[in-house]
Amino acid sequence: MKICITATSEGLDSEVDPRFGRCSHFIIYDTETRSVKSISNASAAASGGAGIKAAEIIANAGVAVLLTGGLGPNAFSIFGELGIDVLVGAKGTVREAISQYEAGELQPIRSPNSTPGFGMRKGNGKGRGMKGGGMGRGMGRGM
């Protein structure tokens, strides 16, 4: 069986990333062969739909279980349709997350636990609005 863990970089010693659609890498661990494969998340920088695109990557990898922190409604529904179990609560490295999974320490989610856009980088909020800072005040008398 293949397990996917969201991660900040490649390999078993990478830290678990709590974001799904915007994580840097997916680590695929095969419980039968103990093999490990790192997949770069091409959807991490997408302007929108990162969760859906990331779900497609996971589905195409033949994963049965996903270990992550947050999952939005669109990706959650895709995993539900495909029968992929989603578990949360993993902490530390990918290696530690696999141990936590094997020990039964992680919790399955039954509904989305993240909002769309979670993990997107935000601006610093210094926009000024309309040039000159003024607001128009119509003086016409529409007829």
Q: What is the pTM of this model?
A: 0.77
Q: Range of 52's domain?
A: 2-117
Tokens at 4, concatenated: 């996917």
CA distances from 97 to 16, 53, 138 (A): 7, 23, 61
Question: Is residue 109 in a domain?
Answer: yes
Q: Residue 122 CB: number of other CB atoms within 10 A?
A: 6
Provide the mean pLDDT of the chain.
Answer: 83
pLDDT higher than threshold 80 for residue 77: yes
CATH of the domain at 82: 3.30.420.130
60-75: average pLDDT: 92
Residue 6 near residue 17, CB atoms below 8 Å: yes
Question: Is residue 46 in a domain?
Answer: yes
pLDDT one-digit tens code per residue, 40-54: 999 888 888 888 999
Q: Give me the pLDDT at residue 71, please.
A: 87
Q: Give me the pLDDT at residue 46, please.
A: 83
Q: Give me the pLDDT at residue 135, please.
A: 44
pLDDT one-digit tens code per residue, 80-126: 999 999 999 889 999 999 999 999 999 898 888 764 444 444 444 44
Question: Is residue 100 in a domain?
Answer: yes
Nearest CA among 29, 32, 25 for reference residue 9: 25
Of residues 40 and 128, more confidence is placed in 40
Question: Is residue 133 in a domain?
Answer: no
Q: Give me the pLDDT at residue 112, please.
A: 84
Question: Is residue 131 in a domain?
Answer: no
Question: Is residue 40 in a domain?
Answer: yes
Scan for tokens 């609005």, then name that residue. Answer: 129
The 65-68 sheet, strands edge to edge: 36-40, 25-30, 2-7, 65-68, 85-88, 107-108
Of residues 29 and 123, more confidence is placed in 29
3-state secondary structure of 74: helix
Question: Is residue 143 in a domain?
Answer: no
Question: Is residue 84 in a domain?
Answer: yes
Tokens at 117, concatenated: 């856009």
| Secondary element (H or E) of residue 37 | strand 36-40
Q: Give me the pLDDT at residue 122, please.
A: 42
Number of domains in the chain: 1
Residue 6 near residue 23, CB atoms below 8 Å: yes
